Amino acid sequence: MIFGNVQNLKEYFFLEDGVFECFRYAKEHELNEYGRGCYEIEGKRLFVNIVEYETVDAKERFWEAHREYLDIHLMLDGAEQIDMNFIQNMDVKKYVEKDDFLQMEGEKNGSVVLREGDFLICYPSDAHRTAVVADGQEKIRKAIFKVRI
């Protein structure tokens, strides 16, 4: 997992080209004007989901990871806590191939709070639980870039 802010992208020069494609796309497009939904950037290799939802207590959320894609969560508005752990520390359940969704259960090892401009990159070994209340329940809006690996 890599946690950062778009104001400091020069510090992350070592990241994969696919990750930088996402940040370039975000800079060149007004993501706040996009409606909720999935937008292809380069077919199934690279796309972005624009989501909006209310944050809730952690016990109401689920753990996930992905095998085919890495996630780049880019906060557009609001504050959201994302809990994290490594899949080897979790009780791994069912993998749904068509959705690239690996379900699991377990406890958090750490967490980050995303605010506007913050991002979190989740690799296949990174279990994450999103939509957790940070500063109080609120509606958030974010872009989740998916990069096939």
pLDDT tens readout for residues 37-72: 999 999 999 999 999 999 999 999 999 999 999 999
Q: How confident is the model at residue 92, as a pLDDT?
A: 96
Can you tell me whether residue 106 is helix, strand or coil? coil
Q: How confident is the model at residue 86, as a pLDDT?
A: 97
16 vs 26, more confident? 26
Over residues 83-139, the pLDDT tens digits come to 999 999 999 999 999 999 999 999 999 999 999 999 999 999 999 999 999 989 999
2 class by beta-carbon count within 10 Å (0-12 exposed, 13-18 middle, 19+ buried): middle
The DSSP result for 125-146, as a single string, is TEEEEEEE-SSSS-EEEEEEEE
Over residues 32-43, the pLDDT tens digits come to 999 999 999 999
- Give the confidence band of 24 by pLDDT, cuts at 50, 70, 90: very high
The DSSP result for 20-62, as a single string, is HHHHHHHHHS-GGGSPSEEEEEETBTEEEEEEEEE-B-GGG--
Place of tokens 């379900």: 103
d(CA 93, CA 103): 5
For the entire predicted model, the pTM comes to: 0.95
Q: Which domains does the chain have, with CATH numbers?
A: 2-148 (2.60.120.370)
pLDDT at 13 over 90: no
Q: How confident is the model at residue 135, as a pLDDT?
A: 87
